[in-house]
Structure 1
Amino acid sequence: MKCMQSSSFFRFLFHRQNCGVLVSPFSTKTPNLSPFSPVKALYDQIQIVCDPRASIIPVLDKWVEQGRSVGNKELRSLIHLMKDFNRFNHALEISKWMTDRRYFILSPADVAVRLELISTVHGIEHAENYFNNISNSLKSATVYGALLSSYVRQKSIAKAEAVMQNMREMGFATTSFPYNLLINLYAQTEEHDKIDALMQEMENLGIPHDMFTLRNRMNAYVRASDISGVEKILNRIEEDPNYVFDWIVYSLAANAYLKVGLIEKTLAMLNKMEGIMIPVKSKLAFQYLLSLYASIGSKNELYRVWNLYKPLNEVHGTSYSVMITSLAKLDDIEGAEKIFQEWESRCSFYDFRILNRLLVAYCKKGLFDKAELAVKKAIKGRTPYASTWYILAVGYSEDKQMDKAAERLKKALLVGRKGWRPRSVLLDASLEYLEGQGDVKEIEEIITLLKNTGALTRNNYHSLLRAFVRIGKSVSDVLDQMERDGFTANEETHRILEMRPSLM
């Protein structure tokens, strides 16, 4: 069996477990909604809005206009539901609607959730502004924890440490939660000495090392490929009756063994992991098992896990995505197609992210005809995500078919939400190709689309200027438009203009 790391899915797993999504005090598990509860009825109405870019405020307003009641308890449940399904923009809309339209008074926990959502949707600067404008009476340990969690996600070490110091001085650093966040940050940034110092500080203050503390420490050992350290934590957990064992510890150990090629020990950890999974019925554990067996290169085990655990879980799109990606990793394109077709035949909401996994597999194999056919079928009556066209653009670019890459990039920009921006490698390559073709019209259209998404830069205008210079066309209109869009000429601009001074 060949040994391949499952690092990307592992990072996703550990991020969810340690960055405030599952374990923070300002987040809860998805509530079990009774089919007769008012919040379930409202949730069903919100679910109809499939486009994450579309506002759900009209749905909330209409609900109230029809004389139906909704309290802050129900709204909080909805916020957590939206978060659990990664509909962060909709969760933030509900949070703001609570105060803007319903005039509910926010608790510190509500403020923490909103801060976390602002950071996710709008970025850390907006979260900082929100935090700075919160009254001191609401700046509880929970709110500071939300800010700390945001800095951890951004890997902003200095700012995270400053918040932690504030929490110490205010008497808020009395639980393991802020320490666990910092330990996780240091694990990601390989500041291993600081981890040991934090754990010693916890011991000095009488703050117990809980399961998350030990997971985070183990994660640092995994990242450093320190097998003895991993086994030290593993033995400590297995030998201490006070710890409630879970599958994540074994998944961490399995990943550590896989990194250094110890396949037999990896399989032993996966067997232990499966022994815990059945009563837990964790979708995330199911997905990680799939990813790890694919990384080991075991197609038989991959299918065994899929067929055994799928009936035990309510299988969502993410599980199908992981299975499609796993099969593609093992060059089983036919199997990936069958899994996609199974999802497509059962789905109540067409999630283009599932299709995207198959498109990535097609493009890596150069199967562009199949990719185009799949997209053509999927977009009948539907609007694809920008990422769908973008994957095709990247595939064509890597295959040196720049004419098709530029065309698919333009389609991605047409449907991209506000602020969506393609990676500069593809954008620059496409603009450079169009410059070489002297295709001013296409460059102008891309610039207009970039402007509409708020992602336009001076360098994009420079591509247009070079194209104008290349074909001997006057650049005065371009310079005027640059200035109107807030881009003054710089040294590079003048260097381009000097190529054809007579055109000024």
Structure 2
Amino acid sequence: MASRSLFLTLRRKCSASSVVSNTLRPNLSRLFSSGALSTECVQDSQENDDLKSRIFRVRLPKRSVTNVLQNWVSEGNQITLSELRHISKDLRKSQRYKHALEISEWMVSHGEYEVSDSDYAVRIVLMTKVFGIDSAERYFEGLPLTAKTTETYTALLHSYAGAKLTEKAEDLYEKIKESKLSLSALTYNEMMTMYMSVGQVEKVSLVVEELKRQKVAPDIFTYNLWISSCAATLKIDQVQQILDEMRYDLGFGEDWERYINLTNIYVSVGHLVNAESNSLVEAEKGITQREWITYDFLIILHAGLGNKDRIDQIWKSLIMTRQKMTSRNYICILSSYLMLGQLKEVGEVIDQWKQSTTTDSVVSACKRLLNAFTDVGFTEKAHDFKMLLIQKNCDPTNSLE
């Protein structure tokens, strides 16, 4: 009886909020036995009873936030478009893509909202994450011509690039260019990012050329990707040319100047002395994530400077992050240790690569690296590296020809 009384009391307390809707009540007994119901009710009493709070209390992906929206309106409350966009953005930051998609569906299905190109673009990305590329494609194709804008095209391109669907991305890229739409740097950055991720770094410069031909202003990410592609192919001399070009870009302020100066320190190998080394570390701390040069670029440049300790630190930081390592990351660090003749570290990286779940491969880079092992006299490690490539389904005697 005591349990029954407590159960009824808890249910009454929750009735004021929409956490427990008609569709969720069959799960009450399970929630009660696990203690989840009492926890949610305590939070209900402590948190503000606004729309965002109600939505964020619906934590399980299988539950629907559409019910929360409907209940909120039925209670006589208003929902503004800006509020929905703000909640959707926070849900995406929390990787709650299904619930964010439900917010998007609500916006589109209710005629009183004037949905923007950005709203459609966000919906395409969310559909990719929740239902897959095919669903996103069908949705895009079903959009009216007026909604097939730079933003929605780029959103679909982003989905292709993220899935490394190179051919589809390239076909769409050509279609975008033929559409005569006014493009931003973001569209070109998507292609550059994809080429970097699949190891076709030589195509990055072609995208940059197209961007310049169309007189599109590059942004920080454009330069970052462009510089990284040069570093990945060891074309350090081109990095200086890019930096010189960046100095004349009027779109950046003092922070951008600091970024250029920092990179110049790396490039100017002969001018880095101990006194400057300390200031360099401090300068690195001051660079924001938005301005950050990629880890691969830093590793390559420190290898040129002969700073093994710094390479060790960067590599340790990189492998401690949650981000999945790619073959490009491993190739970069192996190349750097080979440049410095560090046999022990080369062996350690090969072992780490073997234990990783990374399956992608950069064919041309792997072949160059395998040849480099022999060139520096690391015959035994060359054999180990060849076995690693075979393990990763990248047999140098076949696919690397």
TM-score w.r.t. the length of structure 1 is 0.43
- Please give the per-residue CA displacement for 1:13-40, whole angstroms capped at 9, x wherever unaligned: xxxxxxxxxxxxxxxxxxxxxxxxxx99
2:283 is matched with which residue?
272
Conserved? CA contact 2:161–2:191, under 8 Å: yes
Return the alpha-carbon distance in structure 2 between the equivalents of residues 284 and 47 of structure 1: 32
1:108 is matched with which residue?
117
Return the alpha-carbon distance in structure 1 between the equivalents of residues 248 and 282 of structure 2: 19
Compared with structure 1, are the counterparts of its residues 91 and 40 closer, same or farther at alpha carbon in structure 2 (3 Å cutoff)? farther
Q: Relative CO higher for 1 or 2, CA cutoff 8 Å, sep ≥ 6?
A: 1
What does 1:468-479 align with in structure 2 at a 5 Å threshold?
none
Conserved? CA contact 2:52–2:87, under 8 Å: yes
- Please give the per-residue CA displacement for 1:147-175, whole angstroms capped at 9, x wherever unaligned: 11111111112111111111111111533
- Asked if residue 122 in structure 1 is aligned to residue 122 in structure 2, the reply is no
Equivalent of 1:156, from 154, 165, 189?
A: 165
What letter is aligned with 2:122? V
Shift of 1:225: 4.7
Return the alpha-carbon distance in structure 2 between the equivalents of residues 152 and 159 of structure 1: 9
Return the alpha-carbon distance in structure 2 between the equivalents of residues 129 and 248 of structure 1: 45
What does 1:22-171 align with in structure 2 at a 5 Å threshold?
41-100=50-109, 104-171=113-180
Specify the SS of the correspondent of 1:116: helix
What does 1:283-322 align with in structure 2 at a 5 Å threshold?
none
What letter is aligned with 2:178? E
Return the alpha-carbon distance in structure 1 between the equivalents of residues 291 and 64 of structure 2: 29
Shift of 1:233: 3.4
What letter is aligned with 1:148? L
What letter is aligned with 2:158? S
Conserved? CA contact 1:183–1:195, under 8 Å: yes
- Please give the per-residue CA displacement for 1:190-235, whole angstroms capped at 9, x wherever unaligned: 3334222222222222223332221111222343354444454345
**Total equivalences in the alignment:** 256
Compared with structure 1, are the counterparts of its residues 87 and 51 closer, same or farther at alpha carbon in structure 2 (3 Å cutoff)? same
- Asked if residue 175 in structure 1 is aligned to residue 175 in structure 2, the reply is no
TM-score w.r.t. the length of structure 2 is 0.53
Shift of 1:125: 0.9
1:206 is matched with which residue?
215
Conserved? CA contact 1:183–1:198, under 8 Å: yes
What does 1:10-25 align with in structure 2 at a 5 Å threshold?
none
Return the alpha-carbon distance in structure 2 between the equivalents of residues 283 and 197 of structure 1: 24
Compared with structure 1, are the counterparts of its residues 275 and 124 closer, same or farther at alpha carbon in structure 2 (3 Å cutoff)? same
Return the alpha-carbon distance in structure 1 between the equivalents of residues 130 and 285 of structure 2: 36
1:448 is matched with which residue?
none
Return the alpha-carbon distance in structure 1 between the equivalents of residues 64 and 186 of structure 2: 34
Conserved? CA contact 2:259–2:287, under 8 Å: no
- Asked if residue 192 in structure 1 is aligned to residue 201 in structure 2, the reply is yes
Return the alpha-carbon distance in structure 1 between the equivalents of residues 57 and 240 of structure 2: 48
**Percent of aligned positions that are identical:** 26
1:500 is matched with which residue?
none
Return the alpha-carbon distance in structure 2 between the equivalents of residues 41 and 61 of structure 1: 14
Specify the SS of the correspondent of 2:50: helix
- Please give the per-residue CA displacement for 1:323-380, whole angstroms capped at 9, x wherever unaligned: 99469xxxxxxxxxxxxxxxxxxxxxxxxxxxxxxxxxxxxxxxxxxxxxxxxxxxxx
Conserved? CA contact 2:220–2:291, under 8 Å: no
Compared with structure 1, are the counterparts of its residues 227 and 75 closer, same or farther at alpha carbon in structure 2 (3 Å cutoff)? same
Compared with structure 1, are the counterparts of its residues 182 and 325 closer, same or farther at alpha carbon in structure 2 (3 Å cutoff)? closer
Return the alpha-carbon distance in structure 2 between the equivalents of residues 295 and 88 of structure 1: 38
Specify the SS of the correspondent of 1:74: helix
Shift of 1:241: 5.4
Conserved? CA contact 2:127–2:136, under 8 Å: yes
What letter is aligned with 1:112? A
Compared with structure 1, are the counterparts of its residues 324 and 297 closer, same or farther at alpha carbon in structure 2 (3 Å cutoff)? closer
Return the alpha-carbon distance in structure 2 between the equivalents of residues 231 and 179 of structure 1: 22
Return the alpha-carbon distance in structure 2 between the equivalents of residues 53 and 203 of structure 1: 47
Conserved? CA contact 2:107–2:113, under 8 Å: yes
- Please give the per-residue CA displacement for 1:56-93, whole angstroms capped at 9, x wherever unaligned: 22222221122111022211121112112222111101
Shift of 1:94: 0.6
